[in-house]
Structure 1
Amino acid sequence: MMQKIQKFGGAMFTPVLLFAFAGTVIGVGTLFTTETIMGSLAAPDSFWYQCWNVVLQGGWTVFNQLPLLFVVGLPIGMAKKQNARCAMEALVLYLAFHYFLSTMLAQWGTFFGVDFAQEVGGTSGLTMIANIKTLDMGMIGALLISGIVIYLHNRYFDTELPEWLGTFSGSTFIFMIGFFVMIPVAVLAAFIWPKVQLGMAAFQGFIKNAGAFGVWVFVFLERILIPFGLHHILYSPFWYDNVVVQGGLYSYWANNLPEIAASTASLRSLVPEAGFSSTGFSKIFGVPGIALAFYVTAKPEKRKKILGLLIPITLTSIFCGVTEPIEFTFLFVAPWLFGVHALLAATLSTVMYLAGIVGIHAGGVIEMASLNWIPLMGNHWKEYLLMLVIGLVFTGIWFVVFKFLIEKFDVKTPGREDDEDIKFRSKAEYREKKNAKNGESKAEFIKLILEGLGGKDNIVDVTNCATRLRVNVKDETLCKDDTYFKSIGAHGCSVNGKSFQVIIGLKVPQVREDFENLLNSENEALV
């Protein structure tokens, strides 16, 4: 079950990879179309405004079509075969589901307790999906339908039909089955989802009233679940669905940027719910403190060597918001130290919230700048100056706490190992060691990963998230340990039963593709 949950969490991350660029476009577009910042140049009737508005509206593509993206994104990670065909099947059947649901509500809405005559949006519980007026089931509905289609695809795609029915095989067969499955699913949705919406509204009220304590619990859980690969499942409904605000925090914040930019009121008073997207403060303020503690506590003769490791992974965290490389440097040698990190991260986010600083602060500097600092600096620069002061104070706290604990308990963080081989090596270092061409080195790296996972016959399935290659194996005793994966150039390996997560870095999509190509190769000499 844990393997399936982890695989689901990794698959959900596929559409999220698009958010960084989309958020940047929206942030820059909002900046250049906000009259309070740009003055008369950004007047709605100006050519400047109209040109940038074209760019801005294009940037909304991702956030305005989130359900569709999750529908087609889930099969990429979870379909066992023919992922592209499964994505097409999921999209078609998702649209069929909403056509069924829309027609039922238009004809018998009062029977289901739905006033289908209302305008979409607001508290109506209705929305438009691909020009279909339907119930607003958000990401949950998209994942539900996509999950059903993935099940049908994995089970029936290879069904052999009589030759005279051959034209109905493959994707057509899945569409045929799914078409009739979607009818009762739509009936159940019409009965159940309006009641779910009432429950979600009540939960939304509870979360809002939890205030700072709610923020602390949310951020702590988001950090502490990272080793299990379950943090995506925790934050996704908050950020991309209707748990705290309509449409999710990312979409809601971006939609209201012009009003927020024009207001001089505190950010928390404007959008208090945005405290739940503050998981990124530890990425830009906490990680430098950890890295500095690693450097200071390292053996003097090893400091120069680990500096080459710490600089790139720290910058990756600060600018891109990807923390796994540095967090996994101490997670395996001292899991309790990771717990301390999660406690500090939750405390920092809570202090920021109490100071009135909220917003889309889930990623790194690039995301924060585009969705917060650049468009809002005009009227909120004092809050961001306070944010910097608080953050730097916590950088010092992280450094002092980690330095004390590392030295007190002799934690074998990078540079303190007794065994020279128990260390992190970057992929670049590995390639240099091999003194091979880039293509040859990459192929060798993939082969060594496969060897470390017990070979081709030991692999059950493969997915990935932002930085990790997630592999389920048949026999975990055939696999190598964390030290092996570090020695070949990976950042390490997290193991949970038969589930192995090889820490690769931001190039993991290409590594996964090459890994799957190697698995599918018929040339045994490559294995």
Structure 2
Amino acid sequence: MKSFSSIEWKSSAKNSWEMFKKGCGNIMPTLSKLSKAFLLPIALLPIAGVFLGVGSAIASNSVDGTFGYFFGSLLNKMGDVCFGNLPVLFCISVALAYTKDSGIAAITAVVGFLVMNGMQAALLHTQQADYSSIFVTIDGKKGYHQLYSLIEGTENKFEIKWDTLDFNLQDITGYFTKNNDLYTPVNSNRELIDAAGSVYYSLLWINKIPNGLITSNIGVNSLNTGVFAGIFVGAIAAKCYNKFHQTQLPSAISFFSGTKLVPIVTFVAVIPLSFIFMFIWPYVGMGLAAFGSASGDLPGGLDSFIYEIAERSLVPFGLHHVFYAPLWWTNAGGSIAEAFNRYDLAGLEVGSAKYNEYVKIQTEFVNIWIGNHVGTAVSWGLVTIGDDGKITNIFTDHTQAFLTIKTNISNQFPELWKSMGDQTMAYSVIAKINILNFTDLEALGLNIGRFQSGKFGFMLLGLPMAGLAMWLNVPKENRKEVMGIYFSAAFTCFLTGITEPIEYTFLFLAPWLFYGVHMPLAAISFLFAGLFKTHVSMTVSGGFIDYIVFGVIPYFGSKAMSAKSAFAILGVSAAMAPAYFFGFYFAVKYGNVMVPGRDGSSNVQLATKADYKASKGLNVDGSKIEDGKTSKASAKDAVEEARIQKATKIIEFLGGEANIVDVDACASRLRLTVKDGSLVDKDGIISLGGATGALIRGTNVQVVYGGEQEAIKPRMIKILDEQRKAKK
């Protein structure tokens, strides 16, 4: 047997490592585009969230039928409908991201999404029990103590088969079907139902699919896949477009050539995808729901702490949107239906430890819920109000009251009942705050906001104080010159939660600052936010605007959460301020990090050509500025000229037109795909000004601009088109 020498082993290991690096280099552009795709619908959420939050506050504090009520409901629904249709928005966005913003691909994605869900609707049906297997309970309030078999009667009514005891139909308190000694409730249509009266569904060979896993996707009753199915359909639509939009068919069917062929191919291509989801999603969905519940059982905000370590570590690569999407918008982040169903008493032995534990939780929930929603409790028959306006009677059977609340929510407010994901649930609760609020669900172990509210701790004061600490490390003679850079970035972070200008200032100078100081402190912020159960949601980032909309307004407007939930986050933020300040001050000082201005140069950003000529009293075209002023047209031309020249230089520093494969942008970065990453001059790009850093991973290049990338991208595309046409 031939031995494997150390030289051969080292050669093999080296080749394996090179293959691994090449694979990672190929994956990065794909994931980068996916992350960018997520930003398109996310960009819609801030305005939708503001409308939803403000509308809910107005409606909940107005009398039904008044102008304020209808106006608030109008704003509320305008925002709510965006969150209710996130799957199709993600579907369209993914298709656009992978096809250079093709409208044909977007339409095709919608077609594919409809076809996939339509197939599921055709095969989805409720489960019905045979008459021969149906039983009844008598005086069910005392438990399932006596069962009697039934036979089919006339006019769809049940006729009792008399047994040892006599009773009338009105004595029946419940209908059940028996299967393997397990009794499941059924309704008058013989449909299997859960304890809340919601029907179970069957799909192919899979039975007893919970009602929470079924929803209406743009009018089609199908599996509640969250954003997952939309992402896959969008990817298929993009693939079909890229491959077939220029296909020429034989003359007999040439009408269907090119872009007309794309939706036809996609129509067929989503068929296997639909079956895949039908085969596995009921199991995956129930598994994700179990994960969402189990992660919430971790002690002391540990789930929030672990989440932020993973999320923040992906920020430098622009992949954090991919990570948090399932936790924000699918049942991996929790489910309202699952929060209720996990305390179902069905199948538990009366008097057992678990039975008593669940009854105690149900009692606590009912007491909290009635205290928060007296008006709704009266309309649901759980309490009565005397002439003096005080509660005169409270429903004493808390288990039955819990079931009543659960049944009414699932039947009357299906969108609230079926909402899943940390952010989706938060917005659904805000939309129906008179039915359910954050403290109600807290009693059921559902800590909404656990994957969101921790950001306020380090975005309101933490990172701004880090900016102050870096500025104080700049020599005194240079501080005045660079003050605007630091303080504008700090204020932007505080107001809007946009962290890139500060984060990338130290990330590319000293990555250990990001991973060794910033990431641990951010995770601690999440830990305490989760520990204090701060249910403050957000749009994208945890700035002051989001705090007002999702913390202050819900608290003062409709008491959606407790004072601790609304304001503890300010305490966390106050604690993060000195932690970030001293952590960054000493790390920058003793780590000798050359933050902008500390290297002895006050010129930390290069001027544009327009700035230079303006200082000489000239317009961009070289003509003299009359009366010391430039016309609006000249000023506009000057700005455009500077942008074009900057875009041209960026192309040069990327290795020229021949090395550039794709140009794209997201909220804060210019995202590029090149043929050879070694040809990219990162320092040259940064020297042009405006960029706080650049990242090169294989063929994927990201340049952080903050907002300027939206102006650079279209000009680069235009210049590249002109350069390529000139070569033909």
Do these two structures clear the TM 0.5 threshold for a shared fold by scoring above it?
A: yes
* Superposed counterparts of 1:31-46, under 5 Å: 31-35=57-61, 42-46=62-66
Mapping of 1:385-404 within 5 angstroms?
385-404=567-586
- Alignment-mate amino acid for residue 518 of structure 1: I
- SS in structure 2 at match of 1:186: helix
* Matching of residue 313 in structure 1 with residue 486 in structure 2: no
Structure having the larger proportion of residues in helix: 1
Counterpart residue number, 2:702: 501
- C-alpha spacing 1:420/1:54, structure 2 compared with 1 (3 Å): closer
Three-state SS of the structure 1 residue aligned to 2:246 is: coil
Deviations 1:307-328 (A, max 9, x none): 1111222222222222112111
Find out whether 1:272 has 2:447 as its counterpart: yes
Question: RMSD of the TM alignment (CA)?
Answer: 2.7
CA distance in 2, matches of 1:525, 1:325: 38
Q: Equivalent residue of 2:593, what SS?
A: coil
- Which secondary structure state, in structure 2, belongs to the residue aligned with residue 298 of structure 1? coil
Q: Which amino acid aligns with 1:236?
A: A
TM superposition shift of 1:441:
1.8
> Closer, same or farther in 2 for the Cα pair 1:398/1:455, shift >3 Å?
same
Q: Secondary structure at the match of 2:664?
A: strand
Q: Kindly state the Cα deviation for residue 399 of structure 1 after the two structures are TM-superposed.
A: 0.5
Cα offsets for 1:415-459 (capped at 9, x unmatched)? 2125677x456xx87753464522222222222222221222211
Separation in 2, partners of 1:61, 1:264: 21
DSSP-derived class of the 2:703 partner: strand
Q: Structure 2 vs 1, CA of residues 405 and 434 (structure 1 numbering), >3 Å: closer, same or farther?
A: farther
Is residue 407 of structure 1 aligned with residue 589 of structure 2?
yes
Instruction: Give SS of 1:273's match.
Output: coil
Instruction: Give, in whole Å, the separation in 2 of the partners of 1:10 and 1:181.
Output: 24
- Residue by residue over 1:326-373, the C-alpha shift from the partner in whole angstroms, topping out at 9 and shown as x without a partner, is 111111111010011011011012112222323214432222221222
Q: After superposition, where does 1:360-375 map in structure 2 within 5 Å?
A: 360-361=537-538, 362-375=541-554
Question: Which residue in the other structure is 2:36 paired with?
Answer: 10
Contact 2:438/2:535 (CA < 8 Å) preserved in 1?
no
- Segments of 5+ residues of structure 1 without an aligned counterpart are 36-41, 117-121
Please say if residues 470 and 502 of structure 1, whose CA atoms lie closer than 8 Å, have aligned partners that are also in contact.
yes
- 8 A contact 1:269–1:356 mirrored in 2: no
Task: Indicate which of 303, 328, 350 corresponds to 1:239.
Answer: 328
1:216 positional shift: 0.5
Q: 1:450 to 1:402 in 2, by over 3 A?
A: same
1:468 aligns with 2:673: no
Match for 1:184: what amino acid? Answer: P
Distance 1:261 1:408 in 2: 55
Answer yes or no: is 1:47 the counterpart of 2:224.
no
Q: Is the 8 A contact 1:237 1:248 kept in 2?
A: yes
TM value normalised by structure 1: 0.90
Q: CA deviation at 1:115?
A: 5.4
Query: Shift of the alpha carbon at 1:206?
Result: 2.1
CA contact (8 A) 2:425 2:448 kept: no
**1:210 positional shift:** 2.1
Larger radius of gyration: 2
SS of the equivalent of 2:535 reads coil
Matches within 5 A, 1:54-93: 54-79=74-99, 83-93=102-112
Deviation at 1:169, TM superposition (A): 1.4
Range moving further from structure 2, 132-141 or 177-186: 177-186
Residues 409-488 of structure 1: pairs in structure 2 closer than 5 A: 409-417=591-599, 423-424=604-605, 432-433=611-612, 435=614, 436=620, 437-482=638-683, 484-488=685-689
Q: Alpha-carbon deviations, 1:433-489, whole Å to 9, x = none?
A: 464522222222222222221222211112222100110111222211246424433
Q: Helix, strand or coil: the match of 1:461?
A: strand
Gaps of 5+ in 2: 1-26, 128-201, 335-418, 615-619, 621-637
Which structure exhibits the higher relative contact order, with contacts defined as CA atoms closer than 8 Å and separated by 6 or more residues?
1
Q: 1:309 to 1:431 in 2, by over 3 A?
A: farther
Amino acid aligned to 2:433: E
Report the equivalent of 1:152.
240
Can you list the C-alpha shifts for 1:197-239, whole angstroms capped at 9, x where unaligned? 1211221122111241111011121111111111111111111
- CA shift, 1:194, in A, is 0.9
1:249 matches 2:422: yes
Instruction: Indicate how the Cα distance of structure 1 residues 449 and 202 shifts in structure 2: closer, same or farther if over 3 A, else same.
Output: same
Q: TM-score, normalised by structure 2?
A: 0.66
Contact 1:430–1:489, Cα closer than 8 Å, also in 2: no
Write the mapping of 1:111-122 to structure 2, written as runs, cut at 5 A.
111-114=204-207
Structure 1 32/184 Cα, relative in aligned 2: closer, same or farther at 3 Å? Answer: same
Distance change in 2, residues 1:279/1:74 (3 Å):
farther
1:511 aligns with 2:530: no
SS in structure 1 at match of 2:248: coil
User: 8 Å contact 2:535–2:565 — kept in the other structure?
Assistant: no
In the alignment, which residue of structure 1 is the partner of 2:150?
Answer: none
Is residue 105–residue 112 contact of structure 1 (8 Å, CA) maintained in 2? no
Return closer, same or farther for 1:405/1:62 CA change in 2, 3 Å cut-off: same
Residue 189 of structure 2 aligns with which residue?
none
Q: How many pairs were matched up? A: 511
Q: How far did residue 110 of structure 1 move?
A: 5.1
Q: Determine what percentage of the aligned residue pairs are the same residue.
A: 28
Contact 1:15 1:70 (8 Å CA) reproduced: yes
1:491 Cα deviation from its structure 2 partner: 2.4
Distance of 1:286 and 1:525 partners within structure 2: 51
Contact 1:89 1:171 in 2 (8 A): no
Question: Is the CA contact (8 Å cut-off) linking 2:306 and 2:523 kept in structure 1?
Answer: yes
